[in-house]
Amino acid sequence: MSVKFVPVQWTINKWLYDAVLIALVAIYIWMFIRVGNAAADVTRPVDGATVRMRAFGTCAFFMLSFILAIGPLARLDKRWLPLLYNRRHFGVITAVVAATHASFVMGWYYAFSPTDAYEALLISNLAYNTLVGFPFEALGIFALLILVILAATSHDFWLWFLTPPVWKALHLSIYAAYAAVVGHVALGYLQDVKSPVFPLMFAACALGVAGLHAAAWWASRDGRVEAGEWVRVAPAGDIPDQRAVIVALGGDERAAVFRDGISVSAVSNACAHQNGPLGEGRIVDGCITCPWHGFQYRMQDGCSPAPFTEKIPTYRLKLEDGVVFIDRRANPPGTPVAPLVLEGAP
């Protein structure tokens, strides 16, 4: 935590996360080259370069599928949250794997082209008016450009420089990239494979990503905004100790209702540092701690402990028939609010 912007240092958890991820990528590539391709039934013999480009290409597809599954999984089960916090590292490695796939394609198919390799890539297939023959190469280029842009802007500097709303809007283009990758694979590799194994895995990933997002949306329906000034949060016993329940207040506003023993307080869900989701954090040493970079705030007034000066809005709470309600009208950042006391709370 700092009173000014500084580069965020890697922790042992981030090193372990990246090491495990890179190891899994290496194992997948090795298994595809040594095992998967030998078992595949293709319409024509496959050379070594094609095997390598398919290994990296399918790996990038599975990685991107898992990246998009982490968000809804974390909303459905908090045990997935550690993967969510380091998802940007996952995305950068995915971009590297996808770029490696593209380099093999360029080096094998266009290295000896009489025209410029990139020009040859763009003009080799111009059947944009057909479905099955649609230039899947263009879809791959589009997806790769998005992945590279997102990887290049993944550092917290860009989140700060672009502002969180712009940065988030930019990174939502990952869904457009995934749609393009699905089309790229469906119109490319799937047209050349007779074995049902990969098509089944491909369909399971694409449908799984869509299904998980639908399930997360369905599960979040209880967070819909209610009419009136006071919004129902949850029964007091359902607020986990040392953690929070996130409640929608209308528009893009979210509040995090934390419980520390018998005391319950509510603050904005957005960290003052870079809009990190405070409600996904926990209470450490008596302070609400952001899961992104560890910025801390006191429950009772939303102020960072001295010597830090960050402040976030607070909210009033009330208890009716064992249910906690929150006043949707936020107090100015740093406004003290007496905690709601739960008698006999576990």
Cα 35 to its chain centre, rounded Å, is: 31
Instruction: Report pLDDT for 45.
Output: 58
Put the strands of the sheet holding 287-289 in their side by side order.
282-284, 287-289, 296-298
Instruction: Report pLDDT for 6.
Output: 46
Comparison of pLDDT for 280 and 121, the residue scoring more: 280
Percentage of residues in the chain having pLDDT higher than 70? 88
Mean pLDDT along residues 35-49: 61
Note the residue count of the chain: 346
Instruction: Report pLDDT for 40.
Output: 54
pLDDT of 2 higher than 60: no
pLDDT of 205 higher than 50: yes
Instruction: Report pLDDT for 192.
Output: 77
Average pLDDT over the chain, rounded to an integer: 84
Comparison of pLDDT for 292 and 174, the residue scoring more: 174
Instruction: Report pLDDT for 242.
Output: 92
What angle do helix axes 197-219 and 48-76 make, rounded to 10 degrees? Answer: 20
pLDDT, one tens digit per residue, over 71-92 is 899 878 878 877 877 788 899 9
Task: List helix spans (H) across the chain.
Answer: 12-31, 37-39, 48-76, 81-85, 87-109, 117-123, 136-152, 156-162, 164-171, 174-187, 197-219
Dihedral over alpha carbons 183, 189, 190, 194 (to 10 degrees): 180
Instruction: Please give the structure tokens belonging to residue 128.
Output: 């944009």
Q: What is the C-alpha separation between 25 and 76, in angstroms, rounded?
A: 26
Instruction: Report pLDDT for 4.
Output: 47
Instruction: Report pLDDT for 37.
Output: 58
Measured in degrees and rounded to the nearest 5, phi and psi for residue 41 equal -110, 105
Instruction: Report pLDDT for 332.
Output: 94
Instruction: Report pLDDT for 9.
Output: 54
Instruction: Report pLDDT for 1.
Output: 41
pLDDT of 26 higher than 60: yes
pLDDT, one tens digit per residue, over 269-310 is 999 887 888 988 889 888 999 988 888 999 999 999 988 889
Instruction: Report pLDDT for 250.
Output: 77
Q: What is the C-alpha separation between 321 and 33, in angstroms, rounded?
A: 62
Question: Of the spans 36-40, 134-138, 286-290, 339-343, which averages the highest pLDDT?
Answer: 286-290
Mean pLDDT along residues 208-212: 95
Mean pLDDT along residues 174-191: 92
Mean pLDDT along residues 102-107: 87
Q: What is the C-alpha separation between 254 and 240, in angstroms, rounded?
A: 18
Q: What is the C-alpha separation between 188 and 140, in angstroms, rounded?
A: 10
Instruction: Report pLDDT for 3.
Output: 45
Q: Residue 5's pLDDT band (boundaries 50, 70, 90)?
A: very low
CB 286 within 8 A of CB 279: no
Q: Which of 100-114, 120-134, 169-183, 250-264 has the lowest mean pLDDT?
A: 120-134
